[in-house]
Structure 1
Amino acid sequence: MNNKLVIANWKMHGHQAANARLIGGLLPTLERLDSVQVAICPPTPYLAQVSELLADTAVAIGAQNLSERAQGAYTGEVSGQMLADLGCRYVLVGHSERRSLFGETDAQVAMKFEAALAAGLTPVLCLGESIHQRRAGNTNAVVGSQLKAVLDQVGIEQLAKGVIAYEPVWAIGTGASASPEQAQQAHLHIRQLLAAHAPALASRIALLYGGSVNATNAAELFAQHDIDGGLIGGASLDAACFSAICQAADTGALPVSADNIYNKDPA
C-alpha cells in the first residue's frame, strides 16, 4: 500500500451539535493532507449528517457495523445496501466490542464481511487477542483463527478487496498501546498468513493498527514496515489529537512492501 489509511471510529458518542464542531475542527487539517486517506465512522443515526458535512471533501464516510443479511424482518438491523445508499465507503466488521459484548462469532463476522462486499462496501476486518490470550502466548493462534474464518468464507481474492485492522483487545481504550515492535510483529504475522495464499495480494492489503493510538505514539507506529495506517477510537473524538494522528500518517508515498519478505513460514 502506497498511502496510509486512517479511520475514525466514534463508537457510541456524539450528537448533532458536537458532530458539527468536531468535523469543523478537523477539516482545516484533513483537507491539506497529501498522502493519507481519512474515513470517519459515526454512529448510524448520524451517517446522513456527517456525510453532508463531509460533502465535497476527500474524507470518506464509514459505518461501525452491518447485518449479515441483505433484507427482511430483522428489527433494528441495518443492511449493507442501506449503508451504501447513504454514501458509505467503509464498514467495520468484527470489532472486538461486537465480538465480546454482542457475541459475534468468527463465522458471523465472516458472513458480515461477505455481505459488505456484496453491497459494494469496503469491509474493515478487525482482529485481535485479549490480554489473557497474549499472556498465554496465543496471539498468533487467535488472530490466525479469526482471519481463517473469513478466508474460508470468501477466499483470498475477495478478502483482498477489504482492509484488515489489528486491534489487541488489551490496548483498546486502556491507554496501554502495543509497542511499535509488538504491533509490527503481529502485522507481519498477518501478512505472512495472507502471503501463504497469494504473495502479491498480501503485499497490497492495507493493515491498520488500532489500540490507544495517540498524537505521541502515532508516528512511530506508522513508521513500522507492515503498518499501513490506523483505526482510531477515543482519540478520534478530539479534533486536535486526531488531526495530529492524521498528520503523522501523511509522510508521502511509502514503498510497497517487497513480496519476497513475506514468503516465510506463517506458523
Structure 2
Amino acid sequence: VYYVFRCLMPAAAPNCDGLFRSIELRVPEGCLLNARRPAAVTAGNVETSTRVVDVICGALAQALPELIPAASQGTMNNLGMGDRKGARAWDYYETIAGGTGAGASGGGLSATHSHMTNTRNTSIEVLEANFPLRVTRYEIRENSGGEGARPGGNGLIREYQFLADTSVSLLTERRRYRPWGLGGGGAGLSGQNRLDGELLPAKIVFRATVGQRLRIDTPGGGAFGNGGQFPLPLSAEPS
C-alpha cells in the first residue's frame, strides 16, 4: 500500500511516518492479508504483495487514469531448484522478469523486474559454472505485451535443462488471469510453466530427472489506450 502511494508522490517528498499518517488500513482478522495461524503465508512477501499492488493501482486508475499504468506481469515467477541426495548438495533460487504495464506517457518495458521484485539478472555463465543446469533458451517473449496505443512490455522465455536429478519448486501467478490494460488497451499474455512441453500448475513441487527441460514463459504487461485514443483525465471529461 505504502509503495503505491509513494510512487505517486514527488521524488523529493520525505519518506517518513508523517507522510503516510493520513492512510488508514482496515484489514479484518482472518482475511487473506491478515491470516490466522496455521494458514500458509509463505507467498506473502512475493506473490501476494505483488497482486495487492495490482489491486490498488486498478482502484486508483479510476480516479487518476493519467498517472496509473496498466498492470505489470503481476508475479515474481519464483523458481527454486536443488538436491541433497547427490554427491554435492546444492540449492538455487531466482525470480524471473516479465513485461511492465504501459501508461499515458509511454509503452511498457520488456524483460524487467517490477514493483515488489528487485533481484538482479543471474548470468548464464555463473549459473552453469556452479550448478548442474544448462540454460537452453533465454529470450524476449515476443508479442506477449498487450496491444494498444501504448503497448505493454514483453515477458521472457527462460528454459533450463537438468544435468542431474533435481528437486524443483515453482511459485508463480498470472497463469490464469492476464495482466489488465487501461483505457481500452489490451491485456498482456498470461504466463506458462512447462516440463518437456507438458503444462504445469502455477504452484508445484516436483522431482526432475536428468535431461528434462523446464520452460518458464513470463507474463507480458497490459497496454494503455486503444487505437491512438487515450482516456481523458477525469477533470477534462464532459459532464
With normalisation by structure 1, the TM-score equals 0.23
With normalisation by structure 2, the TM-score equals 0.25
When you count strand as a share of all residues, which structure comes out higher?
2
Tell which structure's C-alpha radius of gyration is larger.
2
When you count helix as a share of all residues, which structure comes out higher?
1
